[in-house]
Chains A and B, each alone.
Chain A
Amino acid sequence: MKITVASGKGGTGKTTIAVNLALSIENSMLIDCDVEGPNSHIFFNDPMLKLKDVSIPAPKFDLDVCTRCGKCADFCQYNAISIIDEKLLFFEELCHGCGGCKIICPVDAITEVEHNVGLIEKGGTVDLTLYHGLLNIGEPFGVPIINELKRFAEGSKVTIFDSPPGTACPAVETMRDVDFCILVTEPTPFGLHDLTLTVDVIREIGTPFGVVVNRDGIGDDRVDRYCERENIPLLAKIPNDMEIAKLYSQGIPIVKGLPKYRELFKEIFDRIKEMV
């Protein structure tokens, strides 16, 4: 089974929920897809070791062969290629590496070269394997690394994906093709606002989902009322417990320092199992 932990708003507790859920259930593994700032590994003491580089194919143009016909420029959905005044311009930072220009070129003027965008590391503990990706500084698209990371999910295990924040491509990619999505929010106007945006996106994607309210008690009950009105299952509430905050500030998972919370995470998993 594949479960993604996501949220529109940053800092709501995605990583906390993902790590503690993975530690509370049997036969699980954890994949941190926040390739711009992975944090899950901080909860574990063991070092992350490099597993592989991630590259995307980038076109290389043979300008002696190229007729400047413009078919590749017309094809490119991201405007990475332009023909202006018989000059071919390639904007590498816009290229998504789809390889379409090479296929479309009628005179075979395009070959592909590997363009490194980041890497994947592996770590965790003896009981729980953790993978994460790191996007190179200056690279705009984390999606190729997320796609590569998702391939490490083992069919026999419960894979927990920790999503990047937001509602754009990297978050969408992490919420797609999974069995269930947990949306983490906080009971504040900001949490509610960004939750509604994420709900709009995930309904478009079609992944079944439910909500976990983190730091319950700091705000009001508007997230509860929103979920009730929208018929969204409220999976659990994590209380605004000073002991949890203390553990977090020391980089210790909740269920390691406060084992009583293991039940709460098991219940979240049981409710998800009923729904998928």
Chain B
Amino acid sequence: MVKELAIISGKGGCGKTTFASSFAALAKDHVIADADVDAADMHILLQPEIRTR
């Protein structure tokens, strides 16, 4: 089974976050990590509740 799947691209704006969030929506038991620490956007799509900061 796939345990860790990295979604990357050389070029910006080609759909990493869109692709990753769609995969996340399909997976049953999953953890999502937005590693774009400069400008993370995944939370805009998934609207998570912040538990710890």
Given A9-B12, A11-B14, A37-B10, A189 contacting B38 (CB threshold 8 A) = no
Residue A194 at the chain B interface, CB threshold 8 Å: yes
Please pick, from A8, A11, A189, the residue contacting B11 in the complex, using a CB distance under 8 A: A11
Flag whether B48 is at the interface (Cβ < 8 A): no
**Are the C-beta atoms of B11 and A167 separated by less than 8 Å?**
no
Pick the residue among A9, A166, A167, A189 that contacts B13 (CB under 8 A). A9
The distance in angstroms between the C-alpha atoms of A35 and B45, with both chains bound, is 30
Q: How far is the CA of A197 from the CA of B37 in the complex (A)?
A: 11
Q: Output the least CB separation between B48 and chain A (Å).
A: 15
Q: Is A10 an interface residue (CB 8 A)?
A: yes
Asked whether B39 is an interface residue with its Cβ less than 8 Å from the other chain, the reply is yes
Instruction: Give the number of residues in B that approach A within 8 Å (Cβ atoms).
Output: 10
Q: A9-B41, A11-B13, A194-B41 known; 9 other A-B pairs, CB under 8 Å?
A: A8-B39, A9-B12, A11-B11, A12-B13, A39-B11, A165-B38, A166-B38, A189-B44, A197-B38
A246 at the interface (CB under 8 A from B): no
14 chain-A/chain-B pairs, Cβ below 8 angstroms: A9-B13, A9-B39, A10-B13, A12-B13, A39-B11, A165-B39, A166-B38, A166-B39, A168-B38, A190-B17, A193-B39, A193-B44, A194-B41, A198-B39
Flag A152-163 by CB within 8 Å of B: 1 or 0 each: 000000000000
Main secondary structure of the interface of B (DSSP, over half): loop
**Chain B residues in contact with chain A, CB under 8 A?**
10-14, 17, 38-39, 41, 44
Cα–Cα, bound, A166→B44 (Å) = 17
Q: Establish whether residues A165 and B41, one from each chain, have CB atoms under 8 Å apart when the complex forms.
A: no
Partner of B38, one of A36, A39, A167, A190: A167
**Within A121-169, which residues are at the interface with B (CB < 8 Å)?**
165-168
Alpha-carbon distance between A197 and B36 when the two chains are bound, in angstroms: 13
- How far, in angstroms, from A216 to B42 measured CA to CA in the complex? 22
With CB as the reference atom, state the residue of chain B lying closest to A164. Answer: B12
Name the residue of chain B whose CB is nearest to the CB of A12.
B13
Contact B14 A197, beta carbon cutoff 8 Å:
no
A166 contacts which chain B residues (CB < 8 A)? 38-39
Q: How far is the CA of A168 from the CA of B40 in the complex (A)?
A: 13
A residues within 8 A CB of B12?
Answer: 9-12, 165
A193 to B11, CA, bound (A): 19
- Select from chain B the residue with minimum beta-carbon distance to A170: B38
Residues of B within 8 A of A39 (CB): 11
Which residues, 159 to 187 on A, are CB-close (under 8 Å) to B? 165-168, 171
In the complex, which residues 190-238 of chain A have their Cβ closer than 8 Å to any Cβ of chain B? 190, 193-194, 197-198
Complex contacts, A165 vs chain B, CB 8 Å: 12, 38-39
Closest to A13 in B: B13
